[in-house]
Chain A
């Protein structure tokens, strides 16, 4: 035992939580929230992002995530209200403006969505999510520029960022660009192999292209989040597809 190991030196010793329990600080809740997002449990993810802000409201990334979770849950007017609230603390932040535009876009208010998106891309510190939101709006308008926006988002993000890749792939799937989506999703499931959301998205894309791996991917998703109904529904849909649809995909 070291000679002075029992002496107290203020905060010089690292703090430890109870045996086996991680210290529940903002970082812990943030990681938990991301874990829930990857598991497609948006409600719990939202709750954990709120806890992050409970610990420290000046952690900016939790604000856009909260808005994004509200959008995922289909609560668009609430997402808009919350984006406005966040903009009071972080005025003119491009990511918040982009998420507000995304909420408007999903709520079928395209004029406003485009206006907010235009505003967000003119700012200085444009984040990948700004480009993804813009891509979604442009895809709604069937603009060819949308894919450039997705590439910009991917290039401006950290190359190994599975979050942005997954978001981009989900966007591509929603717009029926399955083969491009599979490309991104394959790398996401390698990086985060326990993500029910990524496996589900991959399974859906594979099913649409008529690939036989779809079933395995969806089963993986079911395994990682047994409470989530969507993969099961998709599996059921695959099971009862007719021969020609199986042959030609769709």
Chain B
């Protein structure tokens, strides 16, 4: 049997050439003849990397991958990078191992945010965190922990750490926060326990009468740490009074459906002059005894610095979700 490459005459029945080791006869079924193809989305990514390589901006990626996979520091770095699910695996070049988990994580986190702050939303977010831990445990470093008890402790520690990350990272990275309201505003259908999203970076000119703002209400005589959404009823320099069940601003009676008086101020006579930097924020309270002017001043008058954020969107209930005017 003659080798097609080097023309060496081989013994019949041989599969490879004795001289050059080439395959003498290949059957069509035994070997793949269709080459692998590049998915379209990879083209621009590869072009960018190629451009960087031509300019000697990035080192050879394989060296990086080798470092990420085999050096001790690289393995620890990959675990830390997995605070963003899958990033550590991308760094080590083994994203294929976890892509479906990352996809699942996205699904749970996105649906958790969609149903937030209902109990279903919290449950979905909890499962999302669980999947995040699963992704982290798919590192080779995890195999080094042999004892079951150590593994259990590590998982619990990781869960607590991720809870902390999920709780506080939006505060650092997102300009958006949220809060419940205790008010009833018939004009835009606001009811107690509606949940609002609020923009953190507010400017003075963004506040007008009727704006919904997130504040930490001053509880008289005890510490209060919750934040709620209240309504700006009077602006700096104005004279606010209550007559019947309506606010009277500078002698003009306000529309009760747009600027409702909270229930605890019903049938109370009061008249307050706003300072040049103070706002009257309408909030529901449960006062101890009959509130007087001083009590109302302490609970309802806030400065601009006290306001945490301005509400821009009703998030819950889902049926009423939308941007508010």
Please report A residues at the B interface, Cβ cutoff 8 Å. 46, 50, 53-58, 60, 66-67, 70, 73-79, 81-82, 85, 89-93, 107-109, 125
Contact of B50 among A50, A70, A90, A107 (CB under 8 A): A107
Please report B residues at the A interface, Cβ cutoff 8 Å. 4-6, 20-28, 31-38, 43, 46, 50, 53-54, 60
Known A60-B4, A89-B22, A90-B5; judge A108-B50 contact (CB<8 A): yes
CB pair B5 A93 closer than 8 Å: yes
CB pair A91 B20 closer than 8 Å: yes
Closest CB-CB distance, B127 to chain A, in whole Å? Answer: 37
Contacts of B60 in A (CB 8 A): 109
What is the bound-complex CA distance between A89 and B21, given in angstroms? 8
CB pair B34 A81 closer than 8 Å: no
Contacts of A73 in B (CB 8 A): 38
Contacts of B43 in A (CB 8 A): 74
Contacts of B46 in A (CB 8 A): 76-77
CB pair B21 A57 closer than 8 Å: no
CB pair B38 A75 closer than 8 Å: yes
CB pair B22 A93 closer than 8 Å: yes
CB pair B26 A89 closer than 8 Å: yes
CB pair B26 A125 closer than 8 Å: no
Known A57-B27, A109-B60; judge A78-B5 contact (CB<8 A): no
Contact of A56 among B6, B28, B53 (CB under 8 A): B28
Closest CB-CB distance, A131 to chain B, in whole Å? Answer: 19
Closest CB-CB distance, A61 to chain B, in whole Å? Answer: 10
What is the bound-complex CA distance between A74 and B32, given in angstroms? 21
Contacts of B36 in A (CB 8 A): 78, 81-82
Contacts of A75 in B (CB 8 A): 37-38
What is the bound-complex CA distance between A54 and B34, given in angstroms? 9
CB pair B26 A46 closer than 8 Å: no
Known A55-B28, A57-B28, A107-B50; judge A91-B22 contact (CB<8 A): yes
Closest to B21 in A: A91
What is the bound-complex CA distance between A177 and B319, given in angstroms? 69
What is the bound-complex CA distance between A92 and B6, given in angstroms? 12
Closest to A140 in B: B54
